[in-house]
Amino acid sequence: MAISVNTVYQTVLYILNKEQRGYAPPDEFNSIGAQVQLEIFNSYFPDGNQVNRQNQRNTQNDTEYFNIFDNLSYRLTPFVQEITLLLNNTLTGATPIYGDGISFSYPLVDPTSGSLNPEIYLFGEVTCIYTGSPRYESVAQKTSKKEYTRIEKSNLTKPTKSYPIYYNYGSYNPSGNIPSGYSIIPSPLPDSVTASVIMRPNPPIWNFTGGSYGQYIYSSSNSNDFSLDISEQTNLVTNILKYFGIVLNDPTIIQVAEQEAQQVSINKKS
Amino acid sequence: MSLITETNQQYYEGAQGFVGDNVKESFLTTFNTDLIFGSFDPAAVNYALNNFKLYTSPSGLPGTYTEYITTFTVLNNTINFPAAPATGLYIVVQLKILSGGNYGDSTAGTGFDAIGEVVEDNYGGYEYIVLNDAIDNFMVGYVGDGKLLQKAKKSDVLFFAKRSLQEFSYDTLKSVHSQELNIPPSLSVILPQDYVNYVRVSWIDQLGVKRIIYPANNLTISPYENPIQDQAGVPTQDNFGGNIEGTSITEARWKAANDNLLNGRLINNIDALAEFQNALGFNGDFNTGRQYGLDPQLSQVNGWFNMNEREGKMSFSSNLAGKLIVLEYISDGLGYDADTKVPKLAEDALYASILYSIVSTRSGQQEYLVQRLQKDRRAKLRNAKIRLSNIKLDEIVQVMRGKSKWIKH
């Protein structure tokens, strides 16, 4: 469940007011909130790698709620999505990509609706679908371009509909050198491609209307909650405070917030 | 989930039935065999590609089914009609079978029977596991966090699985490949497309009994090159700088050879003479020592074969001209998609072989682990070989009875 942007903002304001440390205007809060959210989000991946070593050594516990790796994976759940990639020569509209007929893309702009697609943070499992009878729905192996060529050349490993492979590259809009999305070249050429991806979190927005005394009044319309899981609320508040300490040039806030954040991190990983 | 997913009717008859309800337009078939669809129209060329026929009947009674040749499509083993079949219409998908199936009998003889070998190809399939399934099973059971292989690329697993299957095919798995051939006047037959090595070559007599033909290892050879030489014995070249090849004189002589001069068989008329003399009590020196010095390896009348590597053919001795032979051979198990299956009796050996191959080719692996997996592989492979050798105690006992050696069991 997402974290309410208003709750976090109010908590930050209370703490800052209590300590007589000044005021955090909404614009600053939104920018710092987005930065902190991204930092926490980014930390999942090295942390996941670290705590997964317990799985590799078979020392991970098998409890329902205290398996730290599972808990970390759970926090990523809101960002996991399944997307459909489009064959490049089928793209229409304002952003035709490449048009080579052998690559599949997830364009920055949806060619049908014209709206911006959510930004992909990481690509996971890619599934190639071959229609017909029989129908194949096979997980493709990700390779580098070099491996791709090698695998293609060996008769024993040559990709088939049961064992497709792909490599990825950033495609460019032919009309200009503007990156126009994430593309893959699979082999053999499938009829359609789906992929499990992790989306980049939406930046938080604390939107407001002006009060009769010129004060800011929270407006839920056009506001964005933090995309992080609710279990990250404490972490989020302390890290935002840390940044406000820097903005306000107050080392005591930084110190307290850093200690707090460090303690949370140690508890998680030990 | 049980491993058998076909009903008895699907397995034995190769048929699956549906009933129309005027609503449903698509009917999913669940055979082990994927439906192959070329065309619904018998007049179309691609119709012959179909591995099934579709029959309908208003009553479902035997003899009332007729082939459905109006528009339909097949996608992902699902039969799709353009409009929902009427309520109560019986629909049967009949895979092609040697007997033609029961459903086309009403029009038997008019070409509407589903004649083919699709159903027979599936018979006995439970004995095997498909290589793709074995690879998927391996990825589930042996690769992942906390296992010996934390990570393995599927292409690596695929490579070693196929290599293992090749090795198994050479010396562990049963040889299931054989061809029945006639020896032409040229005395040579082309090697099968998926041939790797022969197991046995036999000619078939009038009773259908096979008579082993032996290789002519030390008797003759088919030379790999037959360069034309000049007076000085130097090979001559053509305009492109390559040696000019002639025909083999060795082969010509071998084809014209009288085998009786090689195998020590008494020539018929002399045999008759000898019998006559013996019957009359002539004890002269006619027959004394005539069988002396026979080489047992050559003393057989079934004939010889030798490999002609130059032409990719198998050549036979002249006494086999016109004979029916059966060539049993081994392949590497990867020639055709249908071949890529592993007997279940060797499934565990395959996993052990893949695991060992992957671990042993990785750098930085502890040697004790590699050794352990090597032993494991060897033991499982030996087990598989024993299992597949089909040694049955009753059969051994029966053979030994013929030798007057009674084994209690």
Contact B146 A154 (CB under 8 A): no
> Best of B80, B133, B158 to disrupt the A interface by mutation (most A CBs within 10 Å)?
B158
Which amino acid is it at B43? Answer: A
> Best of A50, A62, A146, A157 to disrupt the B interface by mutation (most B CBs within 10 Å)?
A157
Residue A157: which of B34, B76, B158 has the nearest Cβ?
B158
Residues 6+ apart with CB under 8 A from B76: A131, A132, A133, A134, A135
Chain A residues whose beta carbon lies within 8 Å of the beta carbon of residue B154: 139, 141, 163
- ipTM exceeding 0.90? no
Nearest-CA distance A130 → chain B (Å): 10
Mean pLDDT of chain B: 87
List, as one string, the DSSP characters of B86-106.
Answer: PTT-EEEEEE-BTT--STTGG
Contact A141 B150 (CB under 8 A): no
pLDDT of residue B39: 93
Please answer whether residues A186 and A204 qualify as being in contact, where contact means their C-beta atoms are separated by less than 8 angstroms. Answer: no
How many A-B residue pairs are in contact by the CB < 8 A criterion? 50
Residue B150: which of A56, A133, A156 has the nearest Cβ?
A56
Contact A135 B75 (CB under 8 A): yes
pLDDT of residue A94: 44
Sign for the CA dihedral angle at B381, B383, B384, B389 comes to: positive
Residue A56: which of B75, B145, B162 has the nearest Cβ?
B145
Cα separations (Å) of B27 from B5, B19, B44, B109? 17, 9, 23, 28
Contact A163 B158 (CB under 8 A): yes
Q: Which residue is associated with the tokens 């035709």?
A: A96
Q: Chain B within 8 Å of A127 (Cβ-Cβ)? A: no
Please answer whether residues A155 and A143 qualify as being in contact, where contact means their C-beta atoms are separated by less than 8 angstroms. Answer: no
Determine whether B349 is exposed, middle or buried from the number of CB atoms within 10 Å of its CB (0-12, 13-18, 19+): buried
Nearest-CA distance A93 → chain B (Å): 30
pLDDT-derived band at B90 (thresholds 50, 70, 90) equals very high
pLDDT of residue A171: 65
> Best of A70, A149, A156, A161 to disrupt the B interface by mutation (most B CBs within 10 Å)?
A156
Higher-confidence position of A93 and B176: B176
Which amino acid is it at A214? Answer: G
pLDDT in tens, B178-222: 999 999 999 999 999 999 999 999 999 999 999 999 998 888 999
pLDDT of residue B271: 59
Checking DSSP bridges between strand B128-130 and strand A208-210, what pairing results, if any?
unpaired
Q: Helix (H, G, I), strand (E, B), or coil: what is residue B75? A: strand
Q: Chain A within 8 Å of B154 (Cβ-Cβ)? A: yes
Which amino acid is it at B133? Answer: D
Q: Chain B within 8 Å of A237 (Cβ-Cβ)? A: no
Task: Tell whether the model's pLDDT for residue B408 goes beyond 50.
Answer: yes
Q: Chain A within 8 Å of B155 (Cβ-Cβ)? A: yes
Determine whether B85 is exposed, middle or buried from the number of CB atoms within 10 Å of its CB (0-12, 13-18, 19+): buried
Q: Chain B within 8 Å of A138 (Cβ-Cβ)? A: no
Task: Tell whether the model's pLDDT for residue B269 goes beyond 60.
Answer: no
Q: Chain A within 8 Å of B211 (Cβ-Cβ)? A: no
Structure tokens at B279: 């019957």
Contact B155 A157 (CB under 8 A): yes
Contact B76 A131 (CB under 8 A): yes
Can you give the three-state secondary structure of chain A, one letter per residue? CCECHHHHHHHHHHHHHHCCCCCCCHHHHHHHHHHHHHHHHHHHHHHHHHHHHHHHCCCCCCCCCCCHHHHHHHHHHHHEEEEEEEEHHHCCCCCCCCCCCCCEEEECECCCCCCECCCEEEEEEEEEEECCCCCEEEEEEECCHHHHHHHHHCCCCCCCCCCCEEEEEEEECCCCCCEEEEEEEEECCCCEEEEEEEECCCCCECCEEECCCCCEEECCCCCECECCCHHHHHHHHHHHHHHHHHHCCCHHHHHHHHHHHHHHHHHHHC
pLDDT of residue B398: 81
Q: Chain A within 8 Å of B375 (Cβ-Cβ)? A: no
Residues 6+ apart with CB under 8 A from B162: A156, B131, B334, B340
Residues 6+ apart with CB under 8 A from B366: none
DSSP class of residue B333 equals: S
Nearest-CA distance A133 → chain B (Å): 4
Q: Helix (H, G, I), strand (E, B), or coil: what is residue B239? A: coil
Task: Tell whether the model's pLDDT for residue B2 goes beyond 70.
Answer: yes
Contact A163 B155 (CB under 8 A): yes
A243-252, B304-313, B327-336: least confidently modelled range: A243-252
Determine whether B97 is exposed, middle or buried from the number of CB atoms within 10 Å of its CB (0-12, 13-18, 19+): buried
Chain B residues whose beta carbon lies within 8 Å of the beta carbon of residue A147: 155
Q: Helix (H, G, I), strand (E, B), or coil: what is residue B343? A: strand
> Best of B72, B150, B155 to disrupt the A interface by mutation (most A CBs within 10 Å)?
B155
Contact B159 A141 (CB under 8 A): no
CA B59 remoteness from chain centre? 43
Residue A55: which of B78, B146, B155 has the nearest Cβ?
B146
Chain B residues whose beta carbon lies within 8 Å of the beta carbon of residue A151: 155
Residue B145: which of A55, A131, A151 has the nearest Cβ?
A55
pLDDT of residue A250: 63
Q: Chain B within 8 Å of A141 (Cβ-Cβ)? A: yes
Q: Chain A within 8 Å of B285 (Cβ-Cβ)? A: no
Rounded average pLDDT over B378-383? 95
A contact residues 80-109, partner B, Cβ 8 Å cutoff: none
pLDDT in tens, B95-144: 998 888 777 665 555 567 888 899 998 898 899 998 989 999 999 999 99
pLDDT in tens, A125-168: 999 999 877 889 999 999 999 999 999 999 889 999 999 999 98
Q: What separation, in Å, do the N-terminal and C-terminal C-alpha atoms of chain A show? A: 25
Residues 6+ apart with CB under 8 A from A175: none
Contact A55 B154 (CB under 8 A): no
Q: Which residues of chain A fall short of a pLDDT of 50?
A: 94, 96
B120 phi and psi, to 5 degrees? -65, -35
